[in-house]
Structure 1
């Protein structure tokens, strides 16, 4: 792809919560990151409402290991807290390949569809480690991004064979991206082969369920949307002198 980026993201812990475990208050992580979590990482590297990022493929670099930790989350009904046990991934590391397409549902942002410009900013943002803080699922799991060549190096799952992880959450369909005034959830069944996981595009997911009615978010230049030039100079202040 002409507009793809490649990077490795890693951290001490990761928590890609299985939504079924949220009900009891003690979260348990999926064995692999969800499409939506990876998309959030890419959007923390660089994002504009003009773009839609797609996760093409990941490579699991470190062995999948979990660790249970005692935490004290705040209760929903008051300000007190109670002991709960969360199960995290330990030392997660993933090579990621992603690409963007322009959001055809945002005709109001058609003036900003400059592929060359956005691609160059995205590649430079990867080299800088991202524009915003990176999290591996949960906000208490700090992540770090570095540029890499996808497929390089060795993985703990080289020549490991094929593994199926069963049905799991893929991501959300947001009104801004679908053009429909409804929030939807997607389910799929991922398979890893020798450490590589190829992600389905959102429209290819076999199960899509409505969540709630939701209006498209409005982006207004000068209010809640900055120009590309303003974004660029915030990220690379040394360019001001040029």
Structure 2
């Protein structure tokens, strides 16, 4: 696929919070990562407002296991509350993704250098990402490395279909939709032999508006172009 990367992401724990469990202050993870969580990982590897990252599929390599932990959430108004969080234990995934140019960012047309963005993306992946990688929440530190999707043996190979019910797919932001509002997308995924094929965000039919929001503006005065970034990177290598 054009402008694609394939990588493995893994860590000791993951917390892809089911929003329904936040109401009582005790978080319960989804059994698999959401589109938005994986998109955040790819954007931590490399992100520019010029491009939009698209998650194509994820493959669950390890058995889905959960672990309960007692934690003390930070309460800025004081207090000493104990809460139970349910994490995924020993998560490991293969991810296939690609990028497209953001049609809602005409001010970034000067930076639409497809080949250089792809080269920087691949170099950033080899370096372990340009920002911290985590699985769902910041306390769940993770690591990324290139891989060939589908080669390594996985726990759910030839397992059949697992219906995962209604889940959050992701969040729509104004700079990705052209609408001045933030929205949440829902869908009903099915994991087939350990692989979830994601539908595109615009294909989600269950969309709810959360709040009004204005996109942040970027231009050549506050964003380095891909040409400048690649030249800088090559300069460091000399």
So what's the TM-score if we normalise by structure 1? 0.94
Distance change in 2, residues 1:65/1:219 (3 Å):
same
| C-alpha distance in structure 2 between counterparts of 1:199 and 1:55, whole Å | 7
Counterpart position of 1:70: 70
Cα deviation for residue 164 of structure 1 reads 0.5
Counterpart position of 2:236: 238
SS in 2 for 1:42: helix
Counterpart position of 1:128: 127
Structure 2 runs not aligned, ≥5 long: none
Cα deviation for residue 124 of structure 1 reads 1.1
| C-alpha RMSD of the superposition | 1.4
Q: Which consecutive aligned stretches of 4+ in structure 1 deviate over 3 angstroms post-superposition?
A: 220-223, 229-237
SS in 2 for 1:53: strand
Superposition pairs for residues 160-171 of structure 1, below 5 Å?
A: 160-171=159-170
Greater shift in the superposed pair: 134-143 or 210-219: 210-219
Counterpart position of 1:143: 142
| C-alpha distance in structure 1 between counterparts of 2:204 and 2:156, whole Å | 25
Counterpart position of 2:93: 94
Counterpart position of 1:7: 7
Structure 1 runs not aligned, ≥5 long: none
Number of aligned positions between the proteins: 238
- CA displacement 1:69-107 (0-9 Å, x = unmatched): 01000126x033311110000000000000000001111
| C-alpha distance in structure 2 between counterparts of 1:236 and 1:56, whole Å | 30
Cα deviation for residue 125 of structure 1 reads 1.0
- CA displacement 1:117-143 (0-9 Å, x = unmatched): 101111111111111100100110001
SS in 2 for 1:134: coil
SS in 2 for 1:70: strand
| C-alpha distance in structure 2 between counterparts of 1:214 and 1:131, whole Å | 27
So what's the TM-score if we normalise by structure 2? 0.96
Distance change in 2, residues 1:194/1:103 (3 Å):
same
